[in-house]
A and B are shown apart, each in its own frame.
Chain A
């Protein structure tokens, strides 16, 4: 099952070789410094070199920003989508309007994901746990099945 947004917000502590540069083009050094002290802050302008932690930070920031859209702006986007969809269904949409429709849809998707995506992610997480439980029960049943004939034989 593909992880969606809420799962991506979890930080990946397992990554052992996390490297980050203190400056663009600077020398990379380990992210964790001392176990006793809080590490020095790091900045990370070049995200391609970093691990899931930084991807998660950027996603968190993006979601906070996307979710903070005003109701007025959201209504305006919904109105625009409706207007463009009506044109599309009427077969009168121009290529420019069609591109605009794609962009408006993409924008609304991002807002919807930021506002309500966490509910779907929680559901997804529950489904994963149930799937794992079902797998564990199947394994247990198989092991019990394998054990029973040998015990009967004794």
Chain B
């Protein structure tokens, strides 16, 4: 189990591919089998998002899975979904449409859906996969922060003696670099000024390949399995917080 499980983090998984400029109608038509197999009452509840370009499409299924595709990217995200139901003679109640599931259990489900969506994309046989990404998003109260992430925030805030009112920290860091592969992670931590609002943690782990992978099922499964393993390992490392321990840092730089 990961800390992401205990804090109800939600996953997003995506690929970056060779660009192919298919108009939005083509994209939706390609992804139609996913929409088409939804039960009728659920299909009517699908939300299609307004697209900013003619080459991207996104929709959210009733059970909380969001599919998004552009000319160069495809991603599947899980979000909690809810609706308000009016009650006779009482206040409305909130009904969860999505099922609360641990992050580590959701990741393989989201990945499987991503593979299906990727293989449906227009001209997929002529394209290559150049990047795989795993994102963890967590709404969290200040007092629930994992110790390592708290240490990270304190580390960044030291010049100001940790007197934060609000912050929006975003760090895109290179984690590893080889001849064929580069790994990075975007760390985003936001805290609004209003005390009654939640913080948001987002860790976007990415592995980029110098030479693209042919997008067949077995390759995509392998890429995602390895990415899941390594991203989760990194997220645990962040939450444990050795990277932000000043004593350990002093040992590293020899000060």
User: Which bracket fits the contact residues of A?
Assistant: 35 or more
Instruction: Indicate if the CB atoms of B200 and A48 lie closer than 8 Å.
Output: yes
Instruction: Indicate if the CB atoms of B97 and A95 lie closer than 8 Å.
Output: no
Tally of B interface residues using CB under 8 Å: 58
A-B contact count (CB 8 A): 144
B160 lies within 8 A of chain A by Cβ = no
Query: In the assembled complex, which residues on chain A have CB atoms less than 8 Å from the CB atom of B100?
Result: 60-61, 64-65
Q: A95-B247, A96-B248, A111-B6 are in contact. Are A54 and B139 (CB under 8 A)?
A: yes
Instruction: Indicate if the CB atoms of B83 and A39 lie closer than 8 Å.
Output: yes
Q: Of B49, B80, B91, B96, which is within 8 A of A26 by CB?
A: B49
**Binding-face segment, A84-92, A101-109, A126-134, A145-153:** A101-109
Q: Of B7, B80, B94, which is within 8 A of A43 by CB?
A: B80
A41 lies within 8 A of chain B by Cβ = yes
Instruction: Indicate if the CB atoms of B8 and A39 lie closer than 8 Å.
Output: no
Q: How far, in whole Å, are A65 and B9 apart by their CA atoms in the complex? A: 10
A141 lies within 8 A of chain B by Cβ = no
Q: Point out which of A54, A64, A106, A107 has the most chain B C-beta atoms below 10 A from its C-beta.
A: A106
Q: How far, in whole Å, are A62 and B239 apart by their CA atoms in the complex? A: 16
Query: In the assembled complex, which residues on chain A have CB atoms less than 8 Å from the CB atom of B147?
Result: 99, 102-103, 106
Query: In the assembled complex, which residues on chain B have CB atoms less than 8 Å from the CB atom of A36?
Result: 86
Query: In the assembled complex, which residues on chain B have CB atoms less than 8 Å from the CB atom of A48?
Result: 139, 190, 192, 197-200
Closest chain B residue to A62 by CB distance? Answer: B8
Q: Which of B27-68 contact A (CB under 8 A)?
A: 45, 47, 49-50, 58, 60, 62, 64, 66
- Residues of chain A touching chain B, judged by Cβ–Cβ distance below 8 Å, are 11, 13, 22-23, 26, 31-32, 35-48, 50, 52-55, 57-62, 64-66, 68-69, 73, 95-96, 99-100, 102-103, 106-107, 110-111, 114
**Can you give 25 contacting A-B residue pairs, CB < 8 Å?**
A22-B49, A26-B49, A26-B50, A38-B86, A40-B45, A40-B83, A41-B45, A41-B81, A43-B80, A53-B94, A55-B141, A58-B80, A58-B198, A60-B8, A62-B6, A65-B5, A68-B102, A96-B242, A99-B151, A99-B240, A99-B242, A102-B147, A103-B239, A103-B241, A107-B6
- Residues of chain B touching chain A, judged by Cβ–Cβ distance below 8 Å, are 1, 3, 5-8, 10, 45, 47, 49-50, 58, 60, 62, 64, 66, 77, 79-86, 91-94, 96-97, 100-103, 137, 139-141, 144, 146-148, 151, 190, 192, 196-200, 239-242, 245, 247-248
